[in-house]
Structure 1
Amino acid sequence: MANDPLNLDESAEWAGLWWLPADPDERIPGVLRYEPEDGIVLSLIGAFEDRIVSNPSPGVALVHEGHQTWDVILGAAEQREISLLVCVPKSSKRTFGARVRSPDKQTVLVTTALIGAHVSGEDDAAFAAAEVSVEDLGLWAASSAFEGFVGVADGTPDGSGSIFVKTPESQSITVDGTEFRLSHRHTLPFFDQRRGGTVGRMRDSAFMRIVPTDPFSFRGALGAASLVQDLIALATHRAAGVIWLRLQLANADSVARDDRPSLRRSADVLYSPSVLGKHDAKAVDHHLVFFTCASFPFEEVVPRWCEAHGRLQLAINMILGLRYAPPRYVEINLLTAVGAAEVLHRCLGIDERPMPADEFKPMREAMLAHVPEDHRERFKGVIRNDPTLRDRLYALAARPDAEAVGLLMTDVDQWARRTTRARNDLAHEGGTPKHSTKELIAVVEVTTAVVILNVLHELGLPAERQREIVREHPQLRATAKSAREWLVATGTNS
């Protein structure tokens, strides 16, 4: 459909005129091209001045090393306003003094393109709402515009049947003044005549509409889209790519049309998300999903996610990073997983100091009294009343449902000891000679699972569902098997 959002996994181009906001009368023709894997490139027939020039005295111009960049380039192409954000010249070909006069050429790399709006920059609060579609959002929503039945005669399908289209009611919840609305968009029926037959088509896609109390900028809209993307990544236990992002302008069209009120315009966003969504890729198997809106209602999970995401964001970023861009080396995974556990423990605000403060302080002062003054400050920083890594791991294992943790690993003590030893050996000695690669993989996977169970627990996922995830999810079943093999006391590990 003509008004469909621009999918980030599809190529597109616009031919038009382009100019800098400070010089709107100097417009240069060119073509803007977007390729999913290569990004956004503006090819100009002409050139903006990208040299860095100073005038130390009248009639004297000095050209310095480097090139200018532009926060914004504006354009008009194919009856749409376009804003290009964070632009860097890649190449410029000028023809000064050439025997045959011809136009300059310039290629500009663009970070973000807003197709349908003119804004002053990334922080221009020009948008009233954002709509985002993420991979497997429809699966998580557990709803569809399609219903159907197959005709049966005498217990056998008789070849008849039908498909009904009924757009589900939008689900909506307001959190701290921001509305989150889960909606569906479907295409009209289309019959594709082929030589070998006819194919009937319709497409239904779920998306999240986010409406803040006050207009927000592109940067703010991007943060709102990431909030949704991270929720789906957690729920599906895999990287969730952004399929499309559309922003609604805060200011309506000034021109009314055919006695209708003025309309709010929308701008499609082209950029490079952390993961590029594939709109035609097959959905993840529903057995691999931790939770959907059918098991954890939309109006319950969204407020809890907004609160938990803000409070635990650093730990969530680290653990989801193992899904978005998993490193190839187990040592990096080890540092990330254990680091996420430490950060999560701090974010949860668990106060488990080994000694009461009124006992620790005089004890530390007594020890420091025996340290030479030149070294006292250094020792003061070392003597701290903080829990050890092992303490933090024990505390995290004790927070989710105890039976779920027991299904994941039978020996919490051994996991905490071996994880601490592996991390310390790697961080302090530069290697892990006392750990096999398979044991390190087990440490990474179990620690990752413990962090995820804690996040699910903070969201309020029921205990029974936590147990089902560990029992039934293939990856967590494999993790539990690995823990039984590598993270149990054998009399030789310490």
Structure 2
Amino acid sequence: MGDDRVDLDESRRWEGMWWLPDEQENPIPGILHYRPGNGLELSLIGAFEDRITSTPAPGVTAVHEGHRTWDVIHGAAEHREITLLGCIPTGGLRTYGARVDSPDKQIIDATTALVGVHIGGDRDVTFAAAAVSVEDMGAWAASSVLETVIGAPDGKLDGSGSISVSRRAAESVLVGETEYRLEHSYGLPFLDRRTGGTVGRMRDTAFMRIVPREPISWRDAVAAVALVQDLIAFATHRAAGVIWLRLELAGPDPHQVPGRPARPRYAEAIYSPSAVGKQDATAVSHHHVFFTCESLRFEEVMPRWCEARERLHAATNMILGLRYAPARYVEANLLTAVGAAEVLHRGLRIDERPFPPEEFERLRNAMLEQVPEKHRARFKGSLRNDPTLRDRLYALAARPDQDAIALLIPDVDRWARRTTKARNDLAHEGRTPNHSLEELAAVVEVTTAMVILNILHELGLPGQRQCEIVQTHPQLRLTANLAREQLTAPANS
């Protein structure tokens, strides 16, 4: 990977010319700023026409309330093309009839900048591949090109040692029509000489290259990157931010010099993922990782994750939401955790009807005969042959490794009953008078852990590893303690 990549946790600026795609002959000078946390801001010396006008009669122009927005703005800066997407004017200075003529100023916010390409919109099929670096991907990959050797002859340290580099072949797997490649990027060793000493440095970055069979659009690329980001977040049980995203352009280079070998063309993406990664933050501890490519091989976990995420998309989103943006109030987290359990059960397609269809139909018809005609439609709609929330919780508890479940929830029956009671009270009465805050917090954590164990089970994580997670992962170990304290019947304490 080149050194000109754009890291999303670093501020950047581009000074150049900017124009609307259908007004290329009228460029306007300006500066594009990117600041982490604030996003993209284009400051123009001049202005695009952002007033909404109409001509109700010849020679009459009416100016309406509001401002124009632009799907796309093109630019050129630092010898590179730039495309801005989702552009909204947010400020500036327009003057009319001033004594001294001076240029207008305009501030435009953009949702996305693609540095290195001009495209017509987020649905343009433009990109042949995407390479993305996500926080803690190296820990999840459980591999590195760097190796350390410490000299210790006869078991005694002698002060010698070395850091060496060994090339690693990319791990690759084809899922449907998309190839996923786990690769490493690294630079040459560097000695940083300071007045107080010398520091040797070398960086190894694990990243994922996503190569579809056919070119994709920017919107498709964002979805593919989100799939990888969510995998790392789920595996590490914490928010995983995107550090950088580089897109490889499809098709021939229109500026290719004849006779010279073709080189890949790249565009650097600047956008707002669900979390922005910090490349120099401390990596996750191995005790906090549910699984790595050692416990679930890369060529096995990627197809399983792609299938599970598509089938259980809502449940994984809700659980990951508790990691990316947890609510400040336990009631909101309660609805999210229990809702995730419900939609997970539906997504697993393991529903067992309480009654055989023929028997249910006979019972319902018999009951409806006793209901006045004017209330029959409403009453009929409330009679459903579906499992209850408690049934769904019992079914989820029966799927993962049962030794792991026993370690996590000693009293499954009480957890299912108290969780059902808490959710129903909150949803139907607007309060939970029969639960303490401590018990509600335990319900949230235990139900979240139950969903996690079910997804790990779907990914094929061995039962022994499930038990190890409950026993050694700090969060799940705390959750197991909460279950024993708050969700165990007194007779079983």
- The two structures have a TM-score, normalised by structure 2, of 0.98
Aligned to 1:391: 391
- Partner Cα separation in structure 1 for residue 473 and residue 456 of structure 2: 15
Aligned to 1:83: 83
Q: Is the 8 A contact 1:255 1:262 kept in 2?
A: no
Structure 1 residues 108-187: aligned runs within 5 Å: 108-187=108-187
Q: Is the 8 A contact 1:252 1:263 kept in 2?
A: no
- Partner Cα separation in structure 2 for residue 4 and residue 16 of structure 1: 18
- Partner Cα separation in structure 2 for residue 129 and residue 99 of structure 1: 54
- Partner Cα separation in structure 1 for residue 281 and residue 353 of structure 2: 49
Aligned to 1:463: 463
> Displacement, 1:62?
0.5
**2 and 461 in structure 1: CA distance in 2 versus 1, 3 angstrom threshold:** closer
Aligned to 1:264: 264
**134 and 492 in structure 1: CA distance in 2 versus 1, 3 angstrom threshold:** closer
Structure 1 segments of 4 or more deviating over 4 A?
none
Q: Alignment partner of 1:207: what SS? A: strand
Q: Alignment partner of 1:159: what SS? A: coil
Aligned to 1:107: 107
> Displacement, 1:39?
0.6
- Partner Cα separation in structure 1 for residue 351 and residue 327 of structure 2: 33
* Alignment-mate amino acid for residue 29 of structure 1: P
Structure 1 residues 94-493: aligned runs within 5 Å: 94-257=94-257, 259-490=259-490
**206 and 2 in structure 1: CA distance in 2 versus 1, 3 angstrom threshold:** closer
- Partner Cα separation in structure 2 for residue 291 and residue 257 of structure 1: 48
Q: Alignment partner of 1:235: what SS? A: helix
> Displacement, 1:272?
1.2
Show CA shifts across 1:305-341 (max 9, x none).
Answer: 1110110011000011100111111111100000000
Q: Alignment partner of 1:264: what SS? A: coil
* Alignment-mate amino acid for residue 229 of structure 1: Q
- Partner Cα separation in structure 2 for residue 148 and residue 104 of structure 1: 59
Q: Alignment partner of 2:331: what SS? A: helix
- Partner Cα separation in structure 1 for residue 272 and residue 326 of structure 2: 18
Q: Is the 8 A contact 1:80 1:115 kept in 2?
A: yes
> Displacement, 1:257?
4.4
- Partner Cα separation in structure 2 for residue 355 and residue 113 of structure 1: 56
Q: Is the 8 A contact 2:192 2:198 kept in 1?
A: yes
- Partner Cα separation in structure 1 for residue 162 and residue 374 of structure 2: 85
**387 and 54 in structure 1: CA distance in 2 versus 1, 3 angstrom threshold:** same
Q: Is the 8 A contact 1:132 1:244 kept in 2?
A: yes
| Structure 1, unaligned runs of 5 or more | none
- Partner Cα separation in structure 1 for residue 254 and residue 89 of structure 2: 35
* Alignment-mate amino acid for residue 178 of structure 2: T
- Partner Cα separation in structure 2 for residue 28 and residue 299 of structure 1: 50
- Partner Cα separation in structure 1 for residue 262 and residue 212 of structure 2: 21
- Partner Cα separation in structure 2 for residue 132 and residue 151 of structure 1: 37
> Displacement, 1:403?
0.8
In the alignment, structure 1 residue 52 sits paired with structure 2 residue 43: no
- Partner Cα separation in structure 1 for residue 268 and residue 369 of structure 2: 66
Show CA shifts across 1:62-102 (max 9, x none).
Answer: 10000000000000000000000000000131121111110
> Displacement, 1:104?
0.4
Show CA shifts across 1:99-134 (max 9, x none).
Answer: 111000000011011111111111111111011100
- Partner Cα separation in structure 1 for residue 90 and residue 10 of structure 2: 23
* Alignment-mate amino acid for residue 79 of structure 2: Q
Show CA shifts across 1:421-455 (max 9, x none).
Answer: 00011111111111011100110011000000000
Q: Is the 8 A contact 2:295 2:461 kept in 1?
A: no
* Alignment-mate amino acid for residue 245 of structure 1: L
Show CA shifts across 1:269-291 (max 9, x none).
Answer: 11111111010001011111111
Q: Alignment partner of 2:475: what SS? A: helix
- Partner Cα separation in structure 2 for residue 355 and residue 155 of structure 1: 70
* Alignment-mate amino acid for residue 35 of structure 1: R
**469 and 364 in structure 1: CA distance in 2 versus 1, 3 angstrom threshold:** same
* Alignment-mate amino acid for residue 237 of structure 2: H
Q: Is the 8 A contact 2:345 2:351 kept in 1?
A: no
Q: Is the 8 A contact 2:439 2:486 kept in 1?
A: yes
Q: Is the 8 A contact 1:254 1:262 kept in 2?
A: no
- Partner Cα separation in structure 1 for residue 491 and residue 335 of structure 2: 26
Q: Is the 8 A contact 2:132 2:245 kept in 1?
A: yes
Tell me the percent identity: 66
- The two structures have a TM-score, normalised by structure 1, of 0.98
- Partner Cα separation in structure 1 for residue 3 and residue 154 of structure 2: 46
Q: What's the RMSD between the two structures over aligned residues?
A: 1.5
Aligned to 2:5: 5
Aligned to 1:16: 16
- Partner Cα separation in structure 1 for residue 362 and residue 59 of structure 2: 73
* Alignment-mate amino acid for residue 264 of structure 2: R
- Partner Cα separation in structure 2 for residue 47 and residue 145 of structure 1: 50
- Partner Cα separation in structure 2 for residue 473 and residue 351 of structure 1: 31
> Displacement, 1:40?
0.4
- Partner Cα separation in structure 1 for residue 362 and residue 378 of structure 2: 18
- Partner Cα separation in structure 2 for residue 492 and residue 290 of structure 1: 30
> Displacement, 1:2?
5.7
* Alignment-mate amino acid for residue 306 of structure 1: C
Show CA shifts across 1:378-426 (max 9, x none).
Answer: 1111111111000000000001111110110111100000000000111
State the number of aligned residues: 493
> Displacement, 1:362?
2.2
Q: Alignment partner of 2:48: what SS? A: coil
Q: Alignment partner of 2:83: what SS? A: strand
- Partner Cα separation in structure 1 for residue 2 and residue 394 of structure 2: 56
